[in-house]
Homo-oligomer: A and B are copies of this chain.
Amino acid sequence: MITSGLQDYIELIYNSITENKELKAIDIANKFNISRSSVSEALIRLSDLDLILYEGRKGIKITEKGIVEAKRIIKKHEVLCDFFHKILNADFEIASKNACKIEHVIDEELIEKISNFTEFCITNNINNNKKG
């Protein structure tokens, strides 16, 4: 199983590629506040898992398998973030930060339910108006 750290990295790689932004190892290091050498190791692990193609300075490419994995994680992130922000009215920062952590541990099954429920709440204008 892919660890939560690797999930974070593949997520960033996918997002950068879809936005046509060149992503370098050092960008990952800066984003997650980890050392260049840790990124180096992580990219090798992602390559070993066939999630990316990595050739040092020549750049980072994502594989089909990597895209599937990234989308899976990003979907979880979005569903959680939307629910926290739009339905619970949490600050976007809080919503996103918590989604980042929960996305690594929650089951798809529950994500589906949250997704449906968020939609239901939006169509029926249900949300958490209390300050708490």
Contact = CB atoms under 8 A, between A and B. Distances in A.
A102 interface: yes
Oligomer copy total: 2
Nearest to A103: B105
A90 B105 contact: no
A57 to B, nearest CB: 35
Task: Please indicate which of the listed interface residues A89, A101, A110 has the most CB atoms of chain B within 10 Å of its own CB.
Answer: A110
A110 B130 contact: no
A122 interface: no
How many of chain A's residues touch chain B, expressed as a range? Answer: 20 to 34
Interface string A108-132: 0110111111001000001010101
B106 A101 contact: yes
Contacts of A126: 126
Interface of A: 84, 87-90, 94, 97-98, 101-102, 105-107, 109-110, 112-117, 120, 126, 128, 130, 132
